[in-house]
Structure 1
Amino acid sequence: MNSLSGISATPGDSNPERIQIQVTKAQAPQFQHTVGDTFASIEGYIAFDRGLYELRLVNASGASRNEQEIVAISVAPADDVLTVAGYNVENLDPVLERVERTPVGDPDDDVSGGKFSSIADHVVRLLGSPDILALQEVQDNDGGEYSEVVASDVTLTTLIDAIIDAGGPRYEPLSIDPIDDTYGGQPGGNIRVADLFNRLVSAPTPPVRVRSLRRRSAEAGSRSLRPSRFVTVR
């Protein structure tokens, strides 16, 4: 166990013996727990999904919370230090999806729900407005709706504006749009990674051009399930 009462992944050992507790969307509001919390009793059934064992929760009782101190970056780095942080924005999008266009019937409203402002607060207050911010699970501009939209410029601009409102810098976005419905995540959402960089500190030089290519497999005429995407600097 590490100092946070969790299990650390180390090179060569990703701890496959661990079993995560999987909750449904209906259970989630009553099951807000973090690393180090304990329970007197947990009931459920064991399943295997995406290479991991999990306990699908039926009932839990006797919760004891392990209070964690949230540590913010309080000292600015030296002028010759580049700061980089990663953040999983968990299917972030700028719209309230229309139910009839959402294949899994799971619309959400990240703007009115405060998700953008919450992430912006974390970036500025806890992460100290890093020079480069690497994002995961950025959705396209119409979120989980089934459509031909794959661009995420509105999603990223909305987040950048929220960071400015929270007192942070004006970041510049860098991302590559995926080919529609090829990269998993919420159906219709076209999640992708994206970078935000502070142009005053870390602007790419020379200018960056982003491209998306399909990678052909060894079998003539076939295509891989996940097309290649890469950046060229010219």
Structure 2
Amino acid sequence: MKKIAIISGTSGLIGMQLLHQLIKGDQYDYIISVARRKLALKHEKLVQISGDLAGLKNWVIEDKLREEDIGGIYFPLVAAINERVVEIHAFCSLGTTIKAAGSKEKFYQVDHDLVISFANWVKKLGATKLIYVSSLGADPMSNVFYSKVKGETEEDLKVFSFDYLGIIQPSILLGTRSEFRFGEEVAKILMKPLVWFKLLKKYRPIRDYQVAKAMIHHANEPKQVKVQVVPSSEIQDF
């Protein structure tokens, strides 16, 4: 049976690394990127579909794939999805900052609503597993708005009852972002000694490729649990 990876958030730090790792790996026959805009990247396994993610629940996968189809090359993919003869794993690394979003309300729309919408969409397509990038300290009862939203999103994802829901909780991320985040850069500088001296494994900064590798590993490893929280200390081992 062929395997498909459906990913969202490919323009972000983790999403780009995840896409890179999936392309060079052999775990999946097709990689479908779901985004607002297409990346300037081509690969025989990669299919990019784009549009307004706010309306994702109304997207018809067959229509979207046919928009990208040249000479009917995606006909077998469309048929396999429609006939449910593929194994689908979904990966979500959607996220922003309050500053970039412009308000707490718009931040919530991205970090909660779009994530839930993506989960709902892939579940209807037949996805059996979802790997979601949350954050260290995520807690629906937190007084910190960011952590509270992440925690609420984790809880709401459990409602979909995937065969496996992997919740990845990385610490501060190391990597090259397309956007500058002042608070994150300051935190990286202050916490770099934890990396140098390998202290406080749970809290020390973690590299983007480690998170991406952990996501793919947990999606493909046999699981005995339906929901698993993967802390940053475990991700450090990749």
Tell whether the structures are fold-level matches, with TM greater than 0.5: no
TM-score where L is the length of structure 1:
0.35
Structure having the larger proportion of residues in helix: 2
Which structure has the larger Rg? 1
TM-score by length of 2: 0.34
Q: Which has the higher contact order (CA 8 A, sep 6+)?
A: 2
